[in-house]
Amino acid sequence: MSALEIRNIQKRYGDVETLKGINIALESGEFLVLLGSSGCGKSTLLNIIAGLAEPSGGDILIGERSILGAHPKDRDIAMVFQSYALYPNMSVARNIGFGLEMRKVPTAEREKAVRDTAMLLQIENLLDRKPGQLSGGQRQRVAIGRALVRNPRVFLFDEPLSNLDAKLRMEMRTELKRLHQLLGTTVVYVTHDQIEAMTLATRIAVMRDGRIEQLGTPEEIYDRPATLYVAGFVGSPQMNILDAELTGSGLRIAGEEAFPLPETFRSAVTAGRRVKVGVRPEALRLASADVTGIRLPASIEVMELTGPELVTTARIGEQRITACLPPRTSLMPGSAQVFCFDEAALHLFDAENGRSLLAR
């Protein structure tokens, strides 16, 4: 039984189509991340699920029942906002318990629920404070507590970590993952941060211009991006995209020497077609005599040591390529090197429509 089903949801603001038919079905306990750049309609979709906005078409089902037209409070959802949206005049305890208070839960039961939730989030000592007296991370915990305490069927998060500094964001990310593993709740989580998406999600929906570009597990999204857009959006540094041409049964990257096209692509490709080649920076190595694979001669431009790896930028003809090499690699700017990568790491996209040419 799906916990949440989004059926062909559309949203129009005047003449502008913000959502163009979104379809997702979520099993209970799934952690769905809506990933996309600013303005692609993530918040709009979340607000429609929450009942804070009405769709122009389509349906939303929670536990097999349509909730369209139902008041937000009757949808069995809880929401965590980017701005935390804590009530500034209420204590932390009252903030967390407000939903229960409004639902007329008896005081004793409510206080116990608030205490338990605070314990889970390690904020028992903050219960008497006002939101103004909390740090960003503490406020975030309170906001999460306010959602947790009601034990709803679906949790909605709208970029909950984007107001935190980098270190705190990582901590809270781990915390969220811990909570999800512990409680097994169903989550819809909006972010434009691909690392958050990769680490938290059981499934990712990459959105673009009001459509779902690809829906899949983090592994699928990372290993088999369906389009150039997804390939470029997920992964850091970005996947290298190089112009290439097909020569009979061979592939010529950036005007270099052609190599035989790997088996997986043979059926999907016709000769003479313009294609784009994708290679993740972390799939590239420096070629030595004994390694096999596809070879790319390049001239080194810049090396940046990030600690765990040496991010190297190089030129191949007119194009740039980035490689993540082991940190102790010794290179000289301007020197000629040969990168190589396994056939399995090769991605091929149609140059016209950007779709992956991987035979499925």
Partner 1 sequence: MSGTWISTRAWLLMLPLLVVMIGVIGWPLVDTVRLSFTDAKLVGTTGSFVGVDNYERMLTGSSFQRALVTTTWFAVVSVAAEMVLGVLAALLLNQRFRGRTALRALMILPWALPTVVNATLWRLIYNPEYGALNAALTQLGLIDSYRSWLGEPGSALTALIIADCWKNFPLVALIALAALQAVPRDITAAALVDGAGPFNRFRFVIMPYLAGPLLVALVLRTIEAFKVFDIIWVMTRGGPANSTRTLSILVYQEAFSFQRAGAGASLALIVTLLVTVLAAAYAALLRRAAGAS
Ligand X SMILES: Nc1ncnc2c1ncn2[C@@H]1O[C@H](COP(=O)(O)OP(=O)(O)OP(=O)(O)O)[C@@H](O)[C@H]1O
Which partner in ligand X, partner 1, Mg ion, none is near 88 (CB below 5 to 8 A by kind)?
partner 1
Please state the closest distance from residue 55 (CB atom) to partner 1, in A.
17
Collapsing DSSP states into helix, strand and coil, what is residue 299?
A: strand
Please report, for residues 61, 265, 296, 354, the alpha-carbon distance to residue 271 in angstroms, rounded to integers and kept in the order given: 47, 12, 21, 17
Binding site for Mg ion (CB under 5 A): 43
103 binds, among Mg ion, ligand X, partner 1, none (CB under 5 to 8 A by kind): partner 1
CB-based closest residue to Mg ion: 43
Go through 279-290 and write b for each residue having 16 or more CB atoms within 10 A of its CB, e for each that does not: bbbbbbbbbeee
Amino acid of residue 29: G
CA distance 245 to 274: 5
For partner 1, the binding residues in 26-55 under the rule CB under 8 A are 47, 50-52
By CB under 6 A, name the binding residues for ligand X.
13, 18, 36, 38-44, 192
Q: Least distance to ligand X from the beta carbon of 266, Å? A: 39
User: Judged by CB under 8 A, does residue 88 bind partner 1?
Assistant: yes
List, in sequence order, every residue forming a beta bridge with 92; answer none if it has no partner. none
87 binds partner 1 (CB under 8 A): yes
> Taking CB within 5 to 8 Å according to partner kind, which of ligand X, partner 1, Mg ion, none is near residue 192?
ligand X
Q: What is the CA radius of gyration of the chain?
A: 24
Which residue number has the CB closest to ligand X? 43
State which of residues 102, 108, 289, 332 lies at the interface with partner 1 (CB under 8 A): 102
Would you count residue 90 as binding partner 1 (CB under 8 A)? yes
Per-position DSSP letters for 3-44, written without gaps between them = EEEEEEEEEEETTEEEEEEEEEEEETT-EEEEE--TTSSHHH
107 binds partner 1 (CB under 8 A): no
